Structure formats: structure tokens, C-alpha cells
Amino acid sequence: VAGGEDCLWYVDRNGSWHPGFDCEFFTFCCGTCHQRYCCRDPLRLLTERQQRHCLAFSPKTIAGIASAVVLFIAIVTTIVCCFMCSCCYLYQRRQQPRTPLQGPEIPLSSYTPAAPPAPFPVDPKPGPMPPQPGFTPMAMYPPPGPAAQYPMYPSGPPVYNPTAPPPYVPAQPSYPGA
């Protein structure tokens, strides 16, 4: 029943790769995970399932999976720490307030920024200016003193008074012939 079963590819103890091969009729794939050959002894039979098990759990496969997992955890940990550490660029970038219209900053290495223009002409001599001839000086701010008071109104809704006159009703115009 198991005659002609193939030997799958394998890696020997030295790390050399060997391609798979077919065994002749009435011979089996025999041997171990690291050395395979064809034989007629059914006690040494190495089934395809056992051969695949050797490939899946080889030390190199386990080392490769373990290193990939460690690398993944290191990358995720670095990114999370960088978002939480105040000395990291990503943390500082996330803390900057941004307006919806503000785009990304593009540094221009050949551009030297000039000083921004002053909003008003700067007077070289400090202090108040003397009044100009023909103009009368005006006060810039209201004079100091008590602020204007508003009349006090009663708090709450108006009280109903049945003897009060009705609200204002405009007079009806009188037309001739009416």
C-alpha cells in the first residue's frame, strides 16, 4: 500500500538542503528528519506526514518564527513609547496645536527669512507727540469718573393690575362720510 512513497525535501544536520526524490516500486522512504533514503524495511518507514512534521518543527523554522515575533514586539513597543515620551519627535508633533487650514511645514534651506514688517511706523523718539498746528487734541478714552448707571427695573414678570388702562391702541383715522 505504501509502495512508491516519495521522500520530501529535507535539510540535513549541516544545514544543507536536499531535494525530494521518488522511491522505486515496493520501496519506502526511510530514515530520519535529517537523513532520508529508500529501503524495503517497513519498520524504518518515514511517512509523508512524519516528513512534514520534521519541516514544520525544525530548529531553523522555530528560530525564524521566534525572531519575527520578537522583532514585531520591539517595533510596536518602540512606537508606543515614542508617542508617550516627551523627548520623542512623534510626541512633540502630536502635541502641537493645528488649525484645519494649516498645512505641513516645508523647510526651505536656501531661503533666509527676513524680519517681519512692523505693523505701525516706529517713532524714533519715545514719548507723547506734541499737538500739530490746526488740530485740537481729543481725548482717546472716556474721562475717568463714575460710570453711567442704567435705571433699575423690577425683577420678575410684570404684575397684572385690573385697574390699569389698556395698552396703547393707535387712534382710528376719521374719514369723511364714515
pLDDT score for 39 = 92
Contact status, residue 5 vs residue 48, Cβ threshold 8 Å: yes
φ/ψ of 61, rounded to 5, equals -65, -45
What letter represents residue 5's amino acid?
E
Q: Which one is predicted more confidently, 114 or 3?
A: 114
User: What digits encode the pLDDT tens for the residues 12-42?
Assistant: 888 888 898 999 888 989 998 888 999 998 8
User: What digits encode the pLDDT tens for the residues 73-83?
Assistant: 999 988 888 77
Q: Residue 15, by phi and psi: left (phi above 0), alpha (psi -120 to 50) or beta?
A: left
pLDDT level of residue 1 (50, 70, 90 thresholds): very low
C-alpha cell of 121?
Answer: 511706523
Same domain, 49 and 31: yes
Same domain, 62 and 47: no
Q: Which one is predicted more confidently, 95 or 124?
A: 95
In 3-state terms the chain splits into helix, strand, coil percentages (rounded to 5) of: 25, 10, 65
Stated as kind and residue range, the H or E segment containing 38 is strand 36-39
Same domain, 68 and 49: no
Same domain, 46 and 87: no
88 assigned to some structural domain: yes
156 assigned to some structural domain: no
119 assigned to some structural domain: no
Domain end: 99, 131, 151, which one? 99
C-alpha cell of 145?
Answer: 469718573
124 assigned to some structural domain: no
Domain that holds residue 10: 1-57
Same domain, 52 and 1: yes
140 assigned to some structural domain: no
107 assigned to some structural domain: no
69 assigned to some structural domain: yes
If you search the block for the grid coordinates 493645528, which residue do you land on? Answer: 98
Domain end: 71, 99, 127, which one? 99
If you search the block for the grid coordinates 522505486, which residue do you land on? Answer: 24
Contact status, residue 38 vs residue 6, Cβ threshold 8 Å: no
Count of structural domains, the chain = 2
Same domain, 11 and 38: yes
How far apart are the C-alpha atoms of 176 and 63, rounded to whole Å? 114
- What's the pTM value of the predicted model, to 2 decimals? 0.33
Same domain, 3 and 50: yes
